[in-house]
Amino acid sequence: EPEVTQTPSHQVTQMGQEVILRCVPISNHLYFYWYRQILGQKVEFLVSFYNNEISEKSEIFDDQFSVERPDGSNFTLKIRSTKLEDSAMYFCASRPPNLGQAGNQPQHFGDGTRLSIL
Amino acid sequence: ELKVEQNPLFLSMQEGKNYTIYCNYSTTSDRLYWYRQDPGKSLESLFVLLSNGAVKQEGRLMASLDTKARLSTLHITAAVHDLSATYFCAVAPYNNNDMRFGAGTRLTVKP
């Protein structure tokens, strides 16, 4: 079964450094998402992306965050100047296009990248 | 802003017992999802509920949706240790493809 893949699985970065988290969504999916989950807490929506642009973002997704789909397969999340509170698990998800019932399918999640800011 | 509330947040139950997890949401929605997360792992889709009165069952888990009450339930029947995990409900607002998650219910099933 196709999977969403994320790299790296664990990223350790010094505070103030830039970090890029990478995701390869499922190939025929058109909607892409980033979420974060601070240890033991809820899954928080960051941003959704469709047709090469952001369709919605949360208040967490401030100017330090950006997303990109640089080619036909990768979907990246960049944090420009990391802070201690950015330490979390970051999940990428994707969903099929809205064709009939496919639009109601659940989002498929990757295994996540654990980001540790020192 | 869409709010999704789950309760209880923590649930410890004996094997063989039944219990229900509740998910309330604050705005009109026609799609509700239940996910399971094992510690340190990703989120696994369990159920997709798309209409008022929808009921889905898989093994010892049964999910239902009441869109008028803006309430979904996840019922556990005769719990077994393998069901220990965190369960999240997630709601997609009407005419919107995005999802918002509840805080999760951490279920522990004891022998």
Side chain identity at B12, as an amino acid letter?
Answer: S
**In the predicted model, what is the mean pLDDT of residues A88-116?**
84
User: Do residues B100 and B35 lie in contact, with contact meaning Cβ atoms separated by under 8 Å?
Assistant: no
**What is the Cα–Cα distance from B88 to B37, expressed in whole angstroms?**
8
**Residue B27: pLDDT band with limits 50, 70, 90:** confident
End-to-end Cα, chain A, rounded Å: 37
For residue A105, what is the DSSP state?
Answer: S
pLDDT (average), residues B24-45: 90
Angstrom distance (rounded) from CA B91 to CA A35? 14
Determine the 3-state secondary structure of B78 from DSSP: coil
Question: Do the chains contact at B97 and A31, CB–CB below 8 Å?
Answer: yes
- pLDDT at residue A102, as a whole number: 47
Put simply, whether B50 touches A (Cβ < 8 Å) is yes
User: How large a percentage of chain A has pLDDT more than 70?
Assistant: 94
Residue B107 pLDDT > 90 = yes
Pick from A42, A44, A111: CB nearest B42? A111
Chain A CB contacts of B104 below 8 Å: 42-43
pLDDT at B48 over 70: yes
Pairwise CA distance, residues B6 & B74, whole Å: 10
pLDDT band at residue B95, thresholds of 50, 70 and 90?
A: low
Q: Are strands B29-37 and B10-14 parallel, antiparallel or unpaired?
A: unpaired
User: Are B103 and A111 within 8 A, CB to CB?
Assistant: no
* Per-residue model confidence (pLDDT) at position B104: 96
Count of helices and strands (H, E) across chain A: 0, 11
Give the pLDDT confidence of A92-104 residue by residue, as tens digits. Answer: 999 887 666 545 7
Mutate which of A107, A111, A113, A116 to test chain B, going by most B C-beta atoms within 10 A?
A107
Ramachandran category for residue A112: left, alpha or beta (phi over 0 → left; psi -120 to 50 → alpha)? left
pLDDT tens-digit series, residues A11-36: 999 999 999 999 999 988 889 999 99
Q: What value does the mean pLDDT take over residues B43-62?
A: 92
How far apart CA A52 and CA B4 sit, in angstroms, is: 29
Tell me the pairing of strands A10-13 and A113-117. Answer: parallel
